Each structure stands twice: as C-alpha cells, then as structure tokens.
Amino acid sequence: MRAARYLAAMAVLTAAAGPGGAPASGQQHEGHMMATDSMGPVWRMPPQPIPMPMMLPGLMGAVPGVTPYLPDPGHDPAMLPEAVFRGVVEMADGDTLRLEAGFVRRTIGMRTFTMYGFNGQYPGPLIRVPQGAEIIVLFTNHIDLPTAVHWHGVRLENEFDGVPGVTQDPVEPGESFVYRVYFRDAGLYWYHPHHREDIQQDLGLYGNMLVDASAADYYGPANGEDFLMFDDLLVDEGGLFPWGREAAVQTLMGRFGNQLLVNGEPRWEATVRRGEVRRLYLTNVANTRTFNLVPEGAEMKLVGADVSKFERESFISNVVLAPAQRYIVDARFDEPGTYALLNPIQAIDHFNGRFYPQTDTLGIVTVLDEPVAEDHGDAFSTLREHADVIEDIDRYRPEFDRPVDHELELTVRVGDLPSDIVAVMAIDTLYFPPVEWTDAMPMMNFLSTSENLTWILRDVRTGKENRDIDWRFAVGDVRKIRIHNQRRSFHPMQHPIHIHGQRFLVLSKDGVPSDNLAWKDTVVIPVGSTFDILLEASNSGRWMAHCHIAEHLEAGMSMVFTVDPG
C-alpha cells in the first residue's frame, strides 16, 4: 500500500515539475550581479568582531583560492517573492506534502537579500505529525545548486535519508525526488539540505518537524508552545558575504555569522501572561555557532533532547545548544515585565590574549500582569520522572559496562595553507578553550578551504580516516563507541557529531558517567574531551556519521557505516 502511494506520488511529481519548471543552473548565469548584494560575488576581507589587524602583513590582499559564490536566480532579484513566515503543516499518516526549494527575497532588519526558502517560507514549514505516521514528500529543486533533503534525527528508510553520494544522487536544479518519511520516535526534528549545506542551509533551507506522542501526558502541561530555530548570517556593507563555489571556505572554524537570527528574524518577540508555562522547542541550525541561551525572567526545566525525553526533568539556568542539536525546555514566567532572551558567552580576543564577555539579545518576552487562566505552576515545580524512557533505557543498561567497540579521534590536517598562517597559529593556538563561541581569527579562517584543510575522523584502532572507515553492524547490535577530540592538533575545536538513521545514549564524558540519559542523534565533543556513547544499530542501510559544522563536513569530516538487516 505504501509502495503504491509512493509510486503514485512519483508520477504526480514528474508531471508537475516538467521542463522549465525550475530556473537554469547557476553555471548559466555566472557574472550576474546581485541587486540586493551591492558588491556581488567578490572576495573582500571578512567582517571582524573587534578591532584588530585585518590580515597578517604578508597576507594582505590574499583571498581563498576558490570562486566567490552568491545565489543567482538568473533575473532581477527584486522580482522574487518576499518570503513569508513559516506555516504549520499538520499531517496524518499517508498524507503528502509538496516541498519546493526556491529563491526568495528576504528582508532582515533594514536590508534585503536574495536567499533560499522551502515553499517560500522562513524557516521552512513546520511539519507536525503523530508518532508512527509516514508521509510522502514531493520535493522539487528550484534553486541554482544540486541539493537533497535530509530528515535529521528521523529513523526512516535508508534510501530516503537524503545524503547525496550515499543514499541518493543529488537532485539537480529543476529535478525532483520523492521521499517517504516514517516517524518512529516522538520528539523534535529538523530537515535541511545535505549537499553544500554550508551554502544552502545558511541561506535559509531548514525547517522543524514535531512528532507528537500518542500519550496525552507525554510531556507535562503547558500553556503554549514556541518553536525557535537559532541561526546566524555573515553580512557586511556589501551584502551577504560570499561562499566558495567549487569548495567551502572558512573551513578552519566554520562560518560564523555576525547577524544572529531566531526563526530567520533578528529578534524573537513573545507576549505571555503572568504564570504562563511555555514549552520551548529549541533547534540550532547555524553552520558552526554554539549558543548559550539564557532567558531572563523565567525558570527553566529541561524536558527532552534530540530523540527522546530525559529520564528525569531538571531545573536549569541556561541551555547550551550546538549545531544540529535540539532541546525541549519548559519555561515559566512568574513576574510581569519585559525580559530578554540572551546569548552570553566569553569570547576570545587573540590579539590581546584575553577572554571578554559578549552578550547578544536574541529575543524579548513581555510578561503581562494579567494572570494565566490555567495555572500549571504546581506541575511545573514538580520534576517528573519519565518511566517510559527509563524502561526503554533499562534494556540497554547491561551494555553500559561493555568494552569499547570502536574508537574515533577527531583532529585536523593542514594542506597548503599559507605558511604565515601556519606559523602564527602555532604560537597563537597553544591554548584552546573547550568551545569556540565566535570566530576569533576571521582572517585566518577566511583563507582556509576544503581544499587546503582536512578535518578528520580517525579510527584509532585501524588508522583509517573519514570515508575509508568501514564499520559494519547488524540490526539489533549495541556498540560502545569512544570519541576523543584531540586537543594537540593544529586547530582543535569542538565538534557536534551526528549519526544518521540510529539513536544513541551519551554514557560518559571524560570518564564521568551521565546520570540522566536521553536518546540522541548529535553529541558535541568539546576540545580535549572523551565521550563514550552507546549506539543502538536499529535501522539497516548505509548511513553517514559526521561533524555537523557545515564547513568541517565539507572539509572531509564524515564517514559511512553499514547496518545489515538482522
């Protein structure tokens, strides 16, 4: 039955896309200038976070050895449709969604840019489905680059995972692909391209998916929900700062933006009643930036992570959200007033050798004096224990003490980076904090590309790296994987490691066992740390595992493993 629906959808989509249904490829429009990006695709020095020398003396005027790229619709960008704020698409088992990646005109603050959008929206449509549902997605590519859609965290059939080169061919401009997406687990997920995502995701191709559990009391009571997708965009006086066409640039630290965004807007705004409990669904869709979220005026309770709830709820003061990660948090606003959602970090000033505080305001919440009609204060102050999660994890506890099955080391190899940079980095990176919150060395980052720098997943036991690694499991296998982020390398940095198609538990960090588990699909490994994770191989096929810093992925940091049918 499902196969029949799938075939029918394929036929509909093929007819609908037709010839000329998409703009021509970017290759045909090289040389066009962006009306909204006044300087066009021209390399210039990247914006600097604080006053410091723009470039080492020997490197003044140096630019990456790849062609600068900006999205090119092939006609006057002013004629593009203005993107609209995302809608919610409630879907049932068997429903079909038409999803199109295309050009949009985006106004961010006072500026207008040519960007991408799913269905003309920012972010893409919020897909809401019941647990156990399967939907058909008729996807068509109307942008100027090949693409594909990855359903992040969803344990679906392998052929629909949306990874060009592993599970499918890229969807060329004007072409279509039909995805069949099965939602096995309740929770918060997101979709995004998995082909040059350093460009496409950054330009707005992302959206959330919420899978509702069948149990009405799966979560505690709340008065409302907010879906917040955190991102950043790199702009200067010339408009969008270009990406690399043939290869990714800024591969050393990833592309940090200087315009922080929540749901594609510079600021999230909400108004709530006094005593209201809001359920916050948080997703980091930035290329490389990790956020430290602090909502003023609210108590917060951590409820869930990527693929499940935690065993126990816990009160928290901040949420650290690495790229691709999701958390579900309940926030209660007790006192009337106006409060900020902040991102306070300690940035590094390498020029002066010091940390300095940097706080961005991501949102404003107005708490009215009027009390909420239905007060969930008592339920909020009670920390629930999730018996369903504990019972599920109990089946795996006997495996917690098993020997390590596989070990991965995270490191980097330098190619032909300019020797001045290599020399300076050797002095300037003798110390690295566990996390880089900003681009502290933009001029060095600027010149690194996926051609002169390789980020590495190394199998410690075999010495194999990245795509040469060939792990093989069978459905039902449970394996302990140790991941170590090597601090003694050219440029150590945190890595959010995402494993496709499966779920895992974070058993320990630096030898300290986790005391409150949740199923995850992405774990961030700070510099110098070692994590043990327990992988449940539950889904057959060839799957990717990789760093979710988009530029690190482009610079090689990925591997493929196979799960054979049990």
Partner 1 sequence: MKQLAGVIGAAFGFAIILGFAITLGSLVSGEARAAGPSEVPAPAGPVPWADAASRVGTMPRAGTCLVTPEVVPLSGTQSAPGSRGSMTLTQPGSPFEITVDDGGFQTFDLEIQVDQLRHRRGAVYVAWAAKPELDEWVRLGTLDEENRLTGRVAWNQFLVFVSEEASADVERWQGPIMLTGLSPSGRLHTMAGHGPFEAMNCQLYF
Residues that bind partner 1 (CB under 8 A): 52-53, 290, 292, 294, 302, 305, 310, 314, 316-322, 327, 344-346, 348, 350-355, 357-359, 407, 409, 424, 427-428, 430-431, 433-435, 437, 460, 482, 484, 486-488, 494, 506, 509-516, 518, 523-526, 528-531
CB of 428 to partner 1, least distance (A): 6
DSSP 483-506: EEE-SSSSS---EEEEETT-EEEE
How far, in Å, CA of 550 to CA of 202, rounded? 9
Cβ closest to partner 1, residue 38 vs residue 516: 516
- Residues 131-150: b if buried by 16+ CB within 10 A, e if exposed: eebbbbbbbbbbbbbbbbbb
Please report, to the nearest 10 degrees, the dihedral formed by the alpha carbons of residues 526, 207, 107, 256 taken in order.
10
CB of 352 to partner 1, least distance (A): 5
- Picking from 510, 346, 523, the residue whose alpha carbon sits closest to that of residue 436 is 346
Cβ closest to partner 1, residue 20 vs residue 353: 353
Cβ closest to partner 1, residue 31 vs residue 357: 357
CB of 329 to partner 1, least distance (A): 11
Q: Contact, 290 vs 260, CB < 8 A?
A: no
One-letter amino acid of 63: V
CB of 14 to partner 1, least distance (A): 44
Tell the residue number behind the tokens 């394929």, with chain if given. Answer: 10
Q: Contact, 531 vs 482, CB < 8 A?
A: yes
Cβ closest to partner 1, residue 261 vs residue 294: 294
CB of 81 to partner 1, least distance (A): 38
Cβ closest to partner 1, residue 131 vs residue 292: 292
CB of 273 to partner 1, least distance (A): 25
One-letter amino acid of 93: D
Cβ closest to partner 1, residue 116 vs residue 471: 471
Cβ closest to partner 1, residue 354 vs residue 397: 354
CB of 31 to partner 1, least distance (A): 39
How far, in Å, CA of 397 to CA of 415, rounded? 43
Q: Contact, 362 vs 339, CB < 8 A?
A: no
Cβ closest to partner 1, residue 164 vs residue 418: 418
Cβ closest to partner 1, residue 388 vs residue 428: 428
CB of 334 to partner 1, least distance (A): 17
φ, ψ at 138 (rounded to 5°): -95, 105
CB of 191 to partner 1, least distance (A): 23
How far, in Å, CA of 180 to CA of 159, rounded? 9
Cβ closest to partner 1, residue 368 vs residue 435: 435
- Token digits of residue 383: 């920390």
CB of 41 to partner 1, least distance (A): 31
How far, in Å, CA of 253 to CA of 237, rounded? 22
φ, ψ at 413 (rounded to 5°): -125, 135
- Alpha helix positions (H), 265-418: 377-381, 387-394
CB of 254 to partner 1, least distance (A): 16
HSE-up (13 A, CA, CB side) for residue 178:
21
HSE-up (13 A, CA, CB side) for residue 256:
23
CB of 335 to partner 1, least distance (A): 18
- Token digits of residue 486: 């090597």
Cβ closest to partner 1, residue 136 vs residue 319: 319
- Picking from 227, 194, 223, the residue whose alpha carbon sits closest to that of residue 210 is 227
Cβ closest to partner 1, residue 78 vs residue 404: 404
Residue 40 neighbours by CB under 8 Å, 6+ apart:
33, 34, 70, 238, 239
Cβ closest to partner 1, residue 65 vs residue 434: 434
DSSP 156-202: --GGGS--BTTTB--B-TT-EEEEEEE--S-EEEEEEESSSHHHHTT
How far, in Å, CA of 391 to CA of 541, rounded? 27
Cβ closest to partner 1, residue 96 vs residue 508: 508
CB of 64 to partner 1, least distance (A): 22
One-letter amino acid of 13: L
Computed over its alpha carbons, how large is the radius of gyration of the chain? Answer: 23
How far, in Å, CA of 6 to CA of 8, rounded? 5
Strands (E), 372-452: 406-414
CB of 354 to partner 1, least distance (A): 5
How far, in Å, CA of 384 to CA of 379, rounded? 9
